[in-house]
A and B are shown apart, each in its own frame.
Chain A
Amino acid sequence: MDIKAIRQEFPILSRSINGKPLVYLDNAASSQKPKQVVDAVSFYWLNEHSNVHRGVHTLSQDATIRYENSRKQIAEFIGASRPEEVIFTRGTTESMNLLAWSYAAPLLKKGQAILISEMEHHANIVPWQLLIERRPDLRLLVCKIDDQGVLDLEDFYNKLHDNVGLVSITWTSNALGTINPVKLLVDAAHKVGAVIALDAAQAVPHMPINVQETDADFIAFSGHKMCGPTGIGILYGKYAILDSMPPFMGGGDMIRDVSFEKTTYNEVPLRFEAGTPSIGEAIGLGEACNYLTGIGMEKIAQRENELLQRATEALKTISGYKIYGESKDKAAVLSFLISDAHPYDVGTLLDQWGVAIRTGHHCAQPLMQRFQIPGTCRASFAFYNTEEEVDFFIEALRKTTKMLIQ
């Protein structure tokens, strides 16, 4: 992997922040964008744009082809058996809400449970709570995790047998980096007849994914965490299940025929894409898949793991460190605290060094409560980060903690 060449494709990485070269270690929040993606999006807007699925004129047909071609690229990227299994949403959050209202609300049986875990992002907690407010017969079960941030499989199997209709669990924890043994979870869920959804927002951008091998019924992820634009994401679903689901929102594109007496719904996936979609963003996401494939997801996973190992070892040389998330199988997310230094102070001072990390609860407050901490500092790495950046980050952290702990 030619990191130097790759970094040149991301102009933002050459920026200075507070007079220092930017060290961007907030990739789990959002990745940066390569020129290829931005160019594809801007070329579309400047030369190819029209509304999709509507016009008989050439531009509209071309835009439709570009949009649908992007769906194909994404389907190929995740190994879906057909492009129709890829639904465009605004992101993982919308994907989870779509699941709640178009799968769980109409299709879960009375008294069934939804099984999540203690390490979920709010996007995989709150939609279920909102659902249960409307359908109080449904229950939310929460699988425990251990002190290393690893899913308690015994607890998972136990709770799975409590009339679970839907398992919705993160593939990779955004706050701990834990990569869950999803194949195991999928098989276990299917054995009890439950449907399983994976929040793959932190998984798809960082390792090779094949949805057919994983065999999960639904997989949700976001474009902006994988070099694509914001405002676009995916809900992958198995065709037969998607086809059994009613629409999420009503409007244009999702209908076949509308009359005041009765409206019939469109086929999958358009049934779930009401209104004019984010066409440019979808094209950008397709290009992002293309870009990542060009580098190779295996290589990306390996590269990011090397950076994580380097950072983890170096962090351990700072006295008072505590790492949150020590799973053997771990994505390039390093969540930590240094003695009693407040994450907010650490993040603010690191910013003065040009180092961007995330601080706070990472939209996973129940997880923070589980560890009895208000939040952590989180450095998250991408393939375009360098060893020098990791070292600079650690040195800046060392100086920062010296300022904060006397």
Chain B
Amino acid sequence: MKNIAEIEALIIQDFEFLEDWTDKYNLLMDMGKELAPFPESFKTDQYRIQGCQSKVWLKSHLNEDKRVVLEADSDALISKGLVALLIKVLNLQTPEDILHAPLGFIKLIGLDSHLSPNRANGLASMLKQIRLEAKVYAQQTASAS
């Protein structure tokens, strides 16, 4: 199991040599397409992330190893790619690691413009939601131990 920094390094490698923005976006959208299927029955307001112009749904749970399992989907390809990017890095990590990861790779692969809270695409909203859920799991784990 790779840690967050190791996965970030791999993603940076993938993006590094793409000079043309179209290649970058194509790669991002391809990552979205590789996401595991998200059950239609979970595409409800309960799982919808607010603050995105497209619809983005996110569902998480804590597995037996006390790691966070993340699933997501979106009706837009770029949003789906962005959420897939986060999942690639944060899926199956511990709540604590998710909460404290600086995620510097987003800037390094040139997608930091999507992090602006004003952007209607909501990469910031997605990250906020993932961290919010990780925080709940972190508290649960702390109180259980």
Residues of chain A at the chain B interface (Cβ within 8 Å): 18, 342, 344-345, 348-349, 352, 359-360, 374-375, 399, 403-404
Question: Are the CB atoms of A344 and B76 closer together than 8 Å?
Answer: yes
A344 and B54 form a contact (CB under 8 A) = yes
Contact A349 B25 (CB under 8 A): yes
Contact with A along B25-48 (1 / 0, CB 8 A): 110010000000000000000000
Q: Judge whether B78 and A348 touch: CB under 8 Å.
A: yes
What secondary structure prevails in chain A residues at the interface with B? helix
Partner of B76, one of A345, A352, A399: A345
What is the interface residue range for chain B against chain A? 10 to 19
Does B12 lie at the interface of the complex (its beta carbon under 8 Å from any beta carbon of A)?
no
Q: Which residues of the partner chain A approach B64 to less than 8 Å between Cβ atoms? A: none
From B21, B22, B78, B120, give the contact of A345 (CB < 8 A): B78
Would you list which residues of chain B between 67 and 87 have a CB under 8 Å from chain A? 75-79
The answer to whether B121 has its CB under 8 Å from any CB of chain A is yes
- Asked whether B26 lies within 8 Å of A344 as measured between CB atoms, the reply is no
**Given A344-B54, A344-B121, A359-B53; A404-B21 close (CB under 8 Å):** no
List the A residue with the shortest CB-CB distance to B26: A403
- C-alpha gap A348/B77 in the complex (Å): 11
Would you call A18 and B21 a contact (CB within 8 A)? Answer: yes
* Minimum CB–CB distance for B54 against chain A, Å: 4
Extra pairs beyond A345-B77, A345-B78, A359-B53 (4, CB < 8 Å):
A348-B121, A352-B22, A403-B26, A404-B29
With contacts A344-B78, A344-B121 known, is A360 near B25, CB below 8 A? Answer: no
How far is B75's CA from A360's CA once the two chains are assembled, in angstroms? 13
Cα distance A349–B29 when bound, in Å? 12
Q: How far is the CB of A279 from chain B (nearest CB, A)?
A: 29
Residues from chain B with Cβ under 8 Å of A18 in the complex: 21
Known: A342-B54, A360-B120. A374 touches B77 (CB 8 A): no
- Judging by beta carbons under 8 Å apart, are B75 and A374 in contact? yes
Contact of B53 among A352, A360, A399, A403 (CB under 8 A): A360
A–B pairs, 6, beta carbons within 8 Å: A18-B21, A342-B54, A342-B75, A344-B76, A349-B25, A360-B120
**Other-chain contact of B77, A359, A360, A404 (Cβ < 8 Å):** A404
7 nearest A-B pairs in the assembled complex, by CB-CB distance: A342-B76, A344-B54, A344-B76, A344-B53, A345-B76, A345-B77, A345-B78
Residue numbers in A under 8 Å from B75 (CB-CB): 342, 374
B39 to chain A, nearest CB (A): 20
Q: How far is the CA of A359 from the CA of B78 in the complex (A)?
A: 14
Closest Cβ–Cβ distance, residue B59 to chain A (whole Å)? 21
* B144 to A: closest C-beta gap in Å: 40
Chain A residues within 8 Å of B53, by CB: 344, 359-360, 375
In the complex, the chain A residue whose C-beta lies closest to that of B33 is A406
Residue of B nearest to A361 (CB): B53
Residues of A within 8 A of B78 (CB): 344-345, 348-349
Residue of B with least CB distance to A375: B53
Contact A352 B120 (CB under 8 A): no
Q: A342-B76, A344-B79 are in contact. Are A352 and B21 (CB under 8 A)?
A: yes
Complex Cα distance A201/B132, Å?
41
Contacts of B55 in A (CB 8 A): 374
Q: Which A residues lie within 8 Å of B79 (CB)?
A: 344-345
A403 in contact with B22 given A342-B54, A342-B76, A344-B78 (CB within 8 Å): yes
Task: Name the residue of chain A whose CB is nearest to the CB of B24.
Answer: A352
Q: Which residues of B contact A344 (CB under 8 A)?
A: 53-54, 76, 78-79, 120-121
Question: With the chains together, A375 CA to B120 CA distance in Å?
Answer: 14
Q: Is the CB of B121 within 8 A of A403?
A: no
Query: What is the bound-complex CA distance between A348 and B75, given in angstroms?
Result: 14
| B120 smallest CB distance to A (angstroms) | 7
Alpha-carbon gap, A352 to B120, bound state (A): 15
Q: Which residues of chain A come closer than 8 Å to B21, judged between CB atoms?
A: 18, 352
CA distance A378 to B121 in the complex (A): 17
